[in-house]
Amino acid sequence: MKRIKAIYPGSFDPPTNGHLDLIERGSEIFDELVVAILRNPEKDPLFSLSERRQMLESMTKGFDNVSIDTFHGLTVDYALRVGARAILRGIRAISDYEYELQMALMNRKLQPGLETVFMMPAEKYSYLSSRLVREVAELGGAIDCLVPELVAQKLREKMDVAHKFTAAGDAGRHDSDLKTVERMTPVSVTSERKHKSRKRKS
C-alpha cells in the first residue's frame, strides 16, 4: 500500500495552538508528517531553532506519526530529500490565500511532482498568528489560550528577562539578555539604550 509522507514547513516562532490544530489534522490524513522548521539566517527570531524544536517536540509527543526537523534552502528540495509527496500549509482566512497560492504555484513550478495541501484550522484559531502572540506577550496580554502551556511558560521567561533588564538597566547584563530584550521591546529598550550611550558620549 502507498504511504504518503508530508512536510509541514514554517517558522513556528513560536508554535501556537493553531499550528498544533493543523498538525493534528495533518497527522490524521497523512501516514507520516514532518514538521519542518525553517533555518533562516536572515530572520531574527524570538526563539532559537533549538528552542522551537524542543517546544514542537514536546507539543507533538502524543502523535506517533509526527516528527520534528529543521531545514534550510528551498522547501521543495527538503521535501524531496526526505521523500515527501506533499507540503501541508494552513489557511486561516482569505487574506492568507493569495500568498499561499503564490507560494504553492512557485513550489509546483520548481517541483511539479509535489502537491501542496491546504487545511483550515478550527475557526477559533482563525485570528491566531505567531506574530500576534509575540506582540500580545510583549505588551503583557494573556496568552494562555493561544499557545500550549509550555510555550506560554517560555514566553513568560523571555518577558522576565526583558522586565528585569528594563528595571535594572543594562549594567552587568549579558549580550544574549540584551538581544532578547531588544527583540521583545524594540522601541522602549533600544531607545533607553541609545539614550544611555548618548549620555556616555557626552
Q: What residues are annotated to the active site?
A: 19, 43, 92, 130
Nearer to ligand PNS, 67 or 166 (CB): 67
Residues of this chain that interact with ligand PNS (CB under 6 A) are: 9-11, 38, 74-75, 103, 106-107
CB nearer ligand PNS, residue 6 or residue 181: 6
Other beta carbons less than 10 A from residue 111's beta carbon: 16
Give 54 or 166: the residue with its C-beta nearer to ligand PNS: 54
Rounded Cα–Cα distance for residues 33 and 26 (Å)? 7
- The CB-of-119 to ligand PNS minimum distance in angstroms stands at 14
Instruction: Specify the residue, 77 or 160, whose C-beta has the smaller distance to ligand PNS.
Output: 77
- Supply angle C-alpha 118, 15, 47, rounded to 5: 135
Residue 13 CB, nearest approach to ligand PNS (Å): 8
Measured N-to-C along each axis, helices 49-59 and 149-168 cross at an angle, to the nearest 10 degrees, of 150
- Nearer of residues 8 and 165 to ligand PNS, judged by Cβ: 8
Whole-number Cα distances in Å, 22 to 77, 80, 107, 137, 145: 23, 22, 20, 22, 16
Shortest Å distance, C-beta 90 to ligand PNS = 9
Positive/negative CA dihedral, 175, 181, 185, 189 = negative
Cβ 31 to ligand PNS, closest distance in Å?
21
Distances (CA, A) of 56 to 4, 23, 53, 158, 172: 22, 10, 5, 17, 33
CB of 178 to ligand PNS, least distance (A): 25
The letter for the amino acid at 134 is R
Where does residue 30 fall: left (phi above 0), alpha (psi -120 to 50 degrees), or beta otherwise? beta
Cα 119 from chain centroid (whole Å): 18
